[in-house]
């Protein structure tokens, strides 16, 4: 027996009964193809995740292996889901399904609340660890040091092509600077007596 959802309760209160109607894929002539629901769902999930079997597979293949990058990716995924809920809410509203729109709106508010708590927890964890690498202040510090490097190269009469090469090489070497710093901060925290 399936679990009763908010939609089931609202349907019962409104006197709505019936089966869920799905739209299976159609072939080139427009005829509905026989569908294995599990396979069709897997295809849709893979298409949504751009070829990955699911969210976990997508995160692994994109190199989000450390806990910090995984947490940030999951927060982004939750926030993206709020857009999907908003789209569903707007469609329901345009279709005159105000009851469904209200339920979706409430669910979206719950998801946003969870996302806010997750972001707050992430920032609290970073504050406890020392630096908030996503802070706008961190970018000010980063730009300050880069401007001083540029000034030093100019004062040393470094040719423009050498300066360009230096900054390109530095940019490549620092592609994962946040992850690298988090690892080093973790090692520093682990080394304390």
Query: Which residues, in sequence order, are bridge partners of residue 26?
Result: 32
Categorise residue 63: left if φ over 0, alpha if ψ from -120 to 50, beta otherwise. left
Q: How many CA atoms lie within 13 A of 24 on its CB side?
A: 11
Domain ranges of the chain: 1-62, 66-130, 136-182
Q: Is the pTM of this model over 0.85?
A: no
What residues of the chain score a pLDDT lower than 50? 20-21, 193
């Amino acid at each position: 027996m399936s679990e009763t959802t908010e939609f089931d309760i609202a349907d019962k209160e409104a006197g709505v009964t019936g089966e869920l109607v799905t739209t299976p894929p159609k072939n080139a002539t427009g005829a509905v193809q026989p569908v294995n629901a599990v396979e069709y769902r897997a295809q849709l999930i893979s298409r949504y995740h751009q070829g990955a079997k699911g969210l976990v597979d997508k995160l692994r293949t994109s190199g989000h292996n450390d806990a910090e990058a995984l947490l940030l990716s999951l927060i982004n995924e939750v926030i993206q889901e709020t857009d999907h809920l908003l789209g569903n809410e707007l469609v329901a509203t345009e279709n005159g399904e105000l009851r469904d729109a209200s339920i979706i709106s409430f669910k979206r508010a719950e998801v946003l609340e969870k996302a806010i708590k997750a972001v707050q927890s992430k920032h609290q964890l970073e504050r406890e660890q020392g630096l908030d690498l996503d802070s706008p202040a961190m970018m000010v510090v980063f730009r300050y040091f880069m401007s001083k490097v540029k000034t030093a190269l100019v004062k040393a009469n470094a040719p423009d092509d050498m300066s360009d090469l230096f900054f390109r090489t530095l940019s490549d070497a620092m592609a994962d600077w946040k992850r690298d710093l988090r690892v080093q901060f973790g090692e520093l925290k682990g080394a304390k007596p």
